[in-house]
Amino acid sequence: MIPTGPIETEPPGYRTNSEQHTALLDTLHTAGVELGDYDQRIVDWLTLSPGWEWATVATIASWVKRAGTLAESATEYRVALPEGGGTNLIVRRQGAMFGSGWSAVVPGYGGGRAWTTEGWQESISALSADRLFCWPDAPTAVTETRRALADTE
């Protein structure tokens, strides 16, 4: 079992290298971590022959799980987009009473502009909540806005 809270002593148990590999990959996948080739090499190094002991792998997996839990409760992210000329992006969760969508806004004069499923919207205050908070989750809002910014340059 992967600990879900702060770890005070070595996590007990033994897992085979294959079980450790699967557990760490599952944890990373569940957290939405996209792995590149080097990331995969490090997962293999940590878990496969000879690999590290289960206590080390379980601790690393626990950090990923706990960070994901914290991120799930966030209501706003500020994302620096160097590829957008230093643009800052504000990704905000809709208030729980009103829905579960996310918005993506590039701040500016008059509130900035929002990237929605309908395209760029300049007058944010005039948008209805379902038009503004149109993204299902924060990663989708960031990805779609990055794509839109790249297309406008």
For 64, residues 6+ apart whose C-beta sits below 8 A from its C-beta are 27, 28, 31, 33
Q: Where are the domains of the chain?
A: 17-72, 76-152
Q: Which pLDDT score, from 0 to 100, does residue 84 have?
A: 62
Looking at residues 23-37, what average pLDDT do you find? 89
Question: How far from chain centre, in Å, is Cα 110?
Answer: 29
Residue 38 corresponds to which tokens in the numbers above? 């080097």
Q: Is the full-model pTM beyond 0.75?
A: no
Q: Which pLDDT score, from 0 to 100, does residue 117 have?
A: 92
Q: Which of 3-17, 20-34, 58-72 has the lowest mean pLDDT?
A: 58-72
pLDDT digits (tens, 9 = 90+) for 55-100: 999 999 999 988 877 666 778 888 887 766 777 889 988 887 777 8
Residue 45 corresponds to which tokens in the numbers above? 């190094």
